Every structure is written in structure tokens, then in C-alpha cells.
Amino acid sequence: SSLTGQINQSILACVCRSPLGMSRGQILDEDISASSQWSDSTAAKYGRLDCEEGDGAWCPEIAGEPENMNEFLQIDLRSLHFITLVGTQGRHAGGIGNEFAQTYKIKYSRDGSRWISWRNRQGKEVIEANRNAYDIVLKDLEPPIIARFIRFMPVIDHSMNVCMRVELYGCEWLDGLVSYNSPVGQQMTLNGQYIYLNDSVYDGAMSNSMTEGLGQLTDGMCGLDDFTHSHVYNVWPGYDYVGWTNESFPNGYVEIMFEFDRTRNFTTMKVHCNNMFSRRVKTFQKVVCYFRSESDWEATPISFSPVMDDVNPSARFVTVSLYNHMASAIKCQYYFSDIWMMFSEITFQSDTAMYNTTLSPPKTGPPIRDDPTHKVDDSNTRILIGCLVAIIFILVAIIVIILWRQVWQKMLEKVSRRMLDDELTASLSIQSETFTYNNNSPSSVPSEQETSSTYERIFPLGPDYQEPSRLVRKLPEFSQTSEDTGELQIVQEGVPHYAEADIVNLQGVTGGNTYAVPALTMDLLSGKDVAVEEFPRKLLTFKEKLGEGQFGEVHLCEAEGIQDFMDEDFSFDVIENQTVLVAVKMLRTDANKNARNDFLKEIKIMSRLKDPNIIRLLAVCMSSDPLCMITEYMENGDLNQFLSRHEPEGMIALLSNAPTVSYSNLHHMATQIASGMKYLSSLNFVHRDLATRNCLVGKNFTIKIADFGMSRNLYSGDYYRIQGRAVLPIRWMSWESILLGKFTTSSDVWAFGVTLWEMLTFCKEQPYSQLSDEQVIENTGEFFRDQRRQIYLPQPPMCPDPVYKLMLSCWHRNTKERPSFQEIHHTLLDCKP
Ligand SMILES: *[C@@H]1O[C@H](CO)[C@@H](O)[C@H](O)[C@H]1NC(C)=O
Ligand SMILES: *[C@@H]1O[C@H](CO)[C@@H](O)[C@H](O)[C@H]1NC(C)=O
Ligand SMILES: *[C@@H]1O[C@H](CO)[C@@H](O)[C@H](O)[C@H]1NC(C)=O
């Protein structure tokens, strides 16, 4: 129960983070305006994040006094939105531009006339922004904004010109609540300490009562069980709650009125209340609500008395049924049941789709009766008829399109299914003799192939296997669909700067491979020398074989005194002169030249990866054969085994006495994986085999991402073998990796989703354990066809909704819709329990 409490806490702020359409164009040019523009080519409509149209950004005309704060870029979202995050960028224009805003302020408005300056929870208005013209800087809005109009106001000083590109992130504000009016929150004295129960972020007018604004009760953040504490840093006690004492309310109730954007059909109201009865704070004992639909208050209110809880002091949501009352305003009287009553959040659920004001003509229309002529009535009818005709036309058009699409999809499906089947069977039936492990290793002989097939790993897939994508690209239907729906992005995507063919394929010669690297990065790398120290081989003591591949083996060893060989920037938390566990990858002495070269490349790349959540290359043994690379190893082994040994906190663990891992530690580990992947993706590295088996666990649940690959027998069941040819972790792979042989950061994101799923199921079963390998591939085809027949991994029992939503977003069919690791990391940080 405390888990759900914690999760509810910032549910909106966590889930509601989609770009609202500056960069993708859902926000139309006409809805973007500005106070001024430097020239036509830097007009407001060019202020779209990540777009390079026009001269590459919006730039105001700078005139007047310095410190001019009145320039703004304004976005009209057309309806109320809950905005949780903003992104800004300067004008780069392919290297020509160098203008950006170092700081800015935000103003917002719900009605277009009353503008409110945004302040953070500590009361600061100015937002720190860009340091250069190209990087996107994302800033969380704490508190979030509920508004229709947003203005970005760069803080301009005259030392430099300012240009901006922006994006808003959030979602539509479906509650429809426009404002609430309530008595101001009061002050409590507790053991000589003041607890301020005022509405800390109310944006309306404030005197004896609060009017015309929204605030704490709608900021998506629920208070803690103990109202004197807050999860917001550096604020006064009582920050999360608005509270009142019965001494100031002789009628015994507090009345709050809620105004909505239009008439809605209400189902429930949820009130998040504190219930710390030892401090004389309790949930309300009764609530009476009145409804106003047209202009009058309905005579009969509804009334509801929740069950009082004198046992459990935790804060909770009290749900009040509103019995499908139609209203545009609701007035509720909450009755005290003790001296204090404290609320942190009030939400309304309404059935918005049922009511469509624009289409139903007014039944009793005062405007018509008041009007001296009947023209209005007339024109109303005409408009109505016009609307109906238009609607009929639109419907006919839609039906035609649907029919056309159905025929089309059938054809497409047939073609693609046949094609994929053909290709797959062709690929599957290739004899192992015809295949060579490494295209440029002439020394491979068939017999060697067969014996070592278990450890082979082929990336990218063999040329024959990649064929479907090429075929697909050739089909005219295909390119058309991709334009029509904007969904299919078969052509190059992901990191746009390099073609897939340019990826230098780093075959892990020891079986565990490293990462695929764009050729670009390789060039940079080749200029640099490897900055790793040589380590004396005799100080390594063999402990255990971790795995093996065609050309080498991975051993777990103890390394004596390896601390002395390390960079200064790397700190081991071990006592001086103690032995340290390391993983040693070594190349067999009989390995061919290509394998040797690849091994050296792997060392070069590994030596560049420096991140707290990525396994570090510690040292090498290069002076004599066999060549070795020594990487970190972590005391708790890999995450898969680690979690399999543990249980979630709860009954099972209690009964079986098994060691447990709390949800917050799981979350901590997932966040670290996201952080490590964020680092890899920032270097354009594609991991290709992210899974719990490739993450190592250290002290205090620290995680480092490694890649032991399929060299380990333990996990051979996780990989799919095609007649001893390719060995693929298909249950972790995105559809486009399986079908099109495309590996990008977006396919790593997919694998991250699966990894997260594994973690939340404590690795007790394989992903899609009920499906055979062939069925998994079939399911991949369903993802490709996207006719809602694809099967997703189910929501694990202990997985909170926002986290499952995050997983689902990782498995989005369209790679562009999947979040980046930066966004994933951000999201996870935000829904920290
Ligand atoms: C609420 O009370 C605190 C503490 O006295 C004060 O600093 C803050 O300005 C008040 N907020 C509002 C909106 O009145
Ligand atoms: C409100 O919604 C409910 C359930 O969807 C429906 O049965 C009812 O007719 C609606 N009320 C009005 C007045 O539309
Ligand atoms: C406030 O509530 C307490 C506890 O229910 C009660 O004893 C007290 O009389 C109330 N005070 C007023 C002014 O109603």
C-alpha cells in the first residue's frame, strides 16, 4: 500500500512527458507567434526545437533599453495542457549560427488574457538554459504548468544576440479544471515550530480567500504521510499540504469551488488527505457537493461520508462518486472530523467524450430570444445544415479511405508475409558449410565451424539475412505507406550521420563482443593511443572460467595490486594490497590475424569508455601471448543470477526466508542501467545485447554494464541459433533488428524495456517464456505488420503503471517514438519511489 502511495505521488509528472509538437509539427505555424522578429527567416515559426528551417531559429529584433525583458515567443496549444518539461536550444544553422539564450523566464495563461509568471518551488523565476548553440537543454517545471498559452521570454543583455528553439512536453489536461476558489490555508504551531499550510504555488489572486487560480491541489504531487516533511528540497514544513483548522470555520466545513472549461459528465472526485490522527489531523467526515450546469446551482446536492480510519495514519486518496452529474462548476463542503483537515491533491474524473457542445443546438437559447431579429436563429440552422453536409462528406471520405486501406493492407500483408517467409526459410535452410564465420577469414574450415558454432555470433546478420529490408525498400507500396502513415521508417534512421554500412563491426573475438561503433568514431579513435597500462601476467590468479568463444576465453581471476596500474580518475574502493576480482578476456595463441586486429580494436574502444555504470578496462597484457584485456568484475556477479537468488519484499520472502531486494533498490539499479546506456548512446555506441545477464552487480546495488555475450553456456537458452549460423538474443531484440538487421540506439532502447521487465519479474522467467523461438519470430512479424495482433510482455505484478508505460514506449513500433536513454533516465529519476 505504501508502494502505491509513493507511485501515485507524482504520477502525472512522470507519465505526462510527451513532446507537444514543436519539433514534429503538430503545433501549427499559425499557433506560434512572437513579440518581434529579426527578419522573416527568423520568424516565430522557426523556433521549433531540433528543426533547421529558415535561418534556424526564432530571433527577436533587439531594440530599446538593455535588460529588455519583453521579447517573447508564444505558443498556443489550443486547449489546456499539463506541461511538465521544457526544452530549449539556440541557433546553430549548420555551424553558421551562434546565438542562444543563457537564461529565460516563462509566462503562461489559461484564457489568453491573464498572464502568470512561472516560479519554481523555491520562488525563482529565471531558468538557466543553454551554454552553446546546439545542445538541447531540458528543464523540469517544478511545479508543472496548466495552461493553454506559453511564452518563453529570453533574458536579454546586450552583449549577445539571442535566438531560441523550443519544445514543450506534457499532455492534454483532461481534468478540465480551470480554477479553484478556496479559503487560504492556515498555520499550525507544533512543539513551537510553525507549520505553514498555505497553498504554496497558487497562481490566482490571494487575499482572505484564493480565487481564479490553480495550485498545490492540482500540481500532481501528493503529500507524505507526515505532513511536516516534504519531498521537495529546501522548503518550509507543511509545504505539500493546504490545511485548515475547525476553529476558523464555525459551520464545521471548508468550501472549495471548482470551475471547469465546459460542461462535463462527472464520475468521481479523488481527494488526497492527510490522516495523521495523533496530530489531530483526519480525513473529512462528510462531503456535500453542489453542481452548476447552465447558470444555476442545482438544488439537490450529493453527500458522501467516507469510513473513518483511526488505525492507519497514512495519507490516502478518498474517492467520492459524483454519479454522472453534468456540471461546469462544482462546489464542495468538506466537513471536519477533527481539529485539522489537510489536502494535497484533488482530481476529477469526467466522461468527456459523451458531451459535444458544438454539435447540439441550444434547447432553450436565451441569445435567440434576446435577439431582435431571427437572423441568428436562421444562420444557426444554416450553419447546422452546412456542418451536417460537411460531416457526411467527411464520413464518406473516411469510409472510402478505410476500404482502400483495407484492400491495400491485405495486399501489403500478403506481399510482405510471403517475402519474409521466403527470406526466413531461405536464411534458415542455408547449410552451415556454405557459411563462414568471418567473411575475411579464409582460414575458417567447415569442421571448425561446426564445433564452435555454439559460441558464434554474427553481426550484422549475414548479407542474405538482410535481404528483406532491401526488398522492402524496393517495394513501391512500402515507401508509400511510410509516407502516408508516417509510421514506417524503413530507410535509415536513428543516428542520421552515418549509414549502416559504415558501422565498423567489432566482432568480439572472445565470444563476448563489444559494441558496434560508427566509422566516424573509429577514425577519431585511431588517432589516439591506448592509455591503458601493461599488467604483469604473473599477478593474475585463475579462479573460474566465465565463458569462451571461437578465438578466446573469459576467465574470472584475482589480480594482485592492480590499483597501482590504474588511472588516477578511477578509484577502487578496496583496501591497499588486497586482491581484486577481475574478468580477463584472452585471445588464443592460434587466433588468426583478423581476430588479433579485432582484439586490438576492442581494447582501443574499451579504453575510451569511462562511465561509472560501464565496466572499465583496467589493464592489458600485451607484451607476450596470449593477449589479455583485464576488465572490472563485480562481487555479486551478474544481475540475472543476482535477482534469481532474491525475492521481492513481501509474503513469499517472509515465508521462505529468502534474501530480498526492495522496489526502491530495483529502481535504483534500473536507473543506473539507463544512465550507462545514456553514456553509450551519447558516443553513438550501440550495445546490441543489453540484458540482465550482461549487467554486473557490485556493493550497495551498484550496476555496471558489460558484455559477456553468448559465450556463456549458462545463458545459451537466451539465444536463437539458425543452423549453427547466427546466434541471436531474439527475445531482447527489436522487430527491426530481427527482420531488417538494423541495430541502433533505438533497438538498444527496446532491449532496455525487456531488461526492465526481467528485473521486475526478478528474472524468474525468460521473456515470452510461453512462446517458442519460432513463435517469438512470428510475433516480431506482428510488430512489423502492426495490426494489433502483436503480443507484449505483460505488466509484472510489482511493476507500477508509469514504469510499465515506460516499457511499452520502449517497444513502440516506430523507432522515433521510442524514448531516448536520456529521456528514460529522466523518467526513472522522476518516478523514484
Ligand atoms: C506560504 O508560507 C511561506 C512561509 O511563511 C511563505 O514563505 C510563502 O510565501 C507563502 N506562500 C504563499 C503563496 O503565500
Ligand atoms: C454520463 O455518462 C454516463 C456513462 O457514460 C451515461 O450513462 C449518461 O447518460 C451520461 N449523462 C449525460 C447527461 O450525458
Ligand atoms: C474542533 O474539533 C474538535 C474535535 O472534534 C472539537 O472538540 C472542537 O469543539 C471543534 N471546535 C470547533 C470550534 O468547532
pLDDT at residue number 599? 79
Phi-psi region of 650 (alpha: psi -120 to 50; beta: other; left: phi over 0): left
pLDDT at residue number 267? 92
Residue nearest atom 11 of ligand 1, based on CA coordinates: 200
Q: Catalytic site residue 689?
A: yes
Of 352, 382, 399, which marks where a domain is finished? 352
Place of cell 599477478: 539
| Cβ-proximal residues to 135 (8 Å cutoff; 6+ apart), any chain | 89
Residues 676 and 756 grouped into a single domain:
yes
- 517-526 pLDDT, tens per residue? 333 334 334 4
Given the residues 598, 689, 707, 748, select the one marked as catalytic: 689
pLDDT at 50 over 60: yes
552-560 and 242-245: which strand pairing?
unpaired
- 736-784 pLDDT, tens per residue? 888 887 888 999 999 999 999 999 999 988 999 888 888 888 898 888 8
pLDDT at 394 over 80: no
| Domain carrying residue 269 | 177-352
pLDDT at 792 over 60: yes
Residue type present at position 230: S
pLDDT at residue number 660? 87
Q: Are 668 and 659 in contact (CB under 8 A)?
A: no
Is residue 802 classed exposed, middle or buried when 0-12, 13-18 and 19+ CB atoms within 10 A define those classes?
buried
Compute the Cα dihedral for 440, 496, 805, 138 and give only its sign.
positive
pLDDT at 437 over 60: no
- Nearest-10 Cα torsion for 82, 85, 88, 94: -100
Choosing from 265, 325, 349, 357 the residue with most ligand 2 atoms within 8 A of its CB, the one to mutate for a pocket test is 265
Peptide bond into 143 cis (omega under 30): yes
- Here the CATH number for the domain that contains residue 269 is 2.60.120.1190
Which ligand has the nearest atom to the CA of 323? 2
Separation CA 309–CA 136 (nearest Å): 49
Residues 508 and 464 grouped into a single domain:
yes
Separation CA 819–CA 810 (nearest Å): 6
Residues 197 and 133 grouped into a single domain:
no
Q: Which residue has the higher pLDDT, 543 or 41?
A: 41
Residues 674 and 766 grouped into a single domain:
yes
Residues 64 and 142 grouped into a single domain:
yes
Q: Which of 221-230, 355-364, 651-660 has the highest mean pLDDT?
A: 221-230
Residues 655 and 628 grouped into a single domain:
no
Q: How confident is the model at residue 568 (pLDDT cuts 50, 70, 90)?
A: low
Q: What is the mean pLDDT of residues 497-523?
A: 32
Of 632, 665, 700, which marks where a domain is finished? 632
Residue nearest atom 8 of ligand 2, based on CA coordinates: 324
Q: Are 108 and 147 in contact (CB under 8 A)?
A: yes
Q: How confident is the model at residue 126 (pLDDT cuts 50, 70, 90)?
A: very high
pLDDT at residue number 384? 59
pLDDT at residue number 407? 66
pLDDT at residue number 66? 55
pLDDT at residue number 182? 96
State in Å: Cα 226 to ligand 3 middle.
22
The residues with which 205 forms a beta bridge, in sequence order, are 211
Residues 796 and 671 grouped into a single domain:
yes
CB distance 265 to ligand 2 below 6 Å = yes
Q: Give the percent of the chain with pLDDT over 70.
A: 72
Mean predicted lDDT score pLDDT of the chain: 76
Q: What is the mean pLDDT of residues 148-169?
A: 88
CB distance 245 to ligand 3 below 6 Å = no
pLDDT at 291 over 50: yes
Q: Would residue 672 count as lying in a domain?
A: yes
- 635-659 pLDDT, tens per residue? 888 899 899 888 888 767 677 777 8
Q: Are 126 and 103 in contact (CB under 8 A)?
A: yes
Place of cell 523555491: 122
Residues 231 and 276 grouped into a single domain:
yes
Which ligand has the nearest atom to the CA of 357? 2
Residues 157 and 189 grouped into a single domain:
no
Choice among 48-52, 387-391, 781-785 with the minimum mean pLDDT: 387-391
Residues 613 and 713 grouped into a single domain:
no
pLDDT at 175 over 80: yes
pLDDT at residue number 326? 92
CB distance 324 to ligand 2 below 6 Å = yes
DSSP SS3 for 75: strand
Q: How many domains does the chain have?
A: 4
pTM exceeds 0.85 for this model: no
Residues 628 and 541 grouped into a single domain:
yes
Q: Would residue 14 count as lying in a domain?
A: yes
Q: What is the mean pLDDT of residues 445-469?
A: 28
Separation CA 445–CA 202 (nearest Å): 75
Residues 589 and 556 grouped into a single domain:
yes
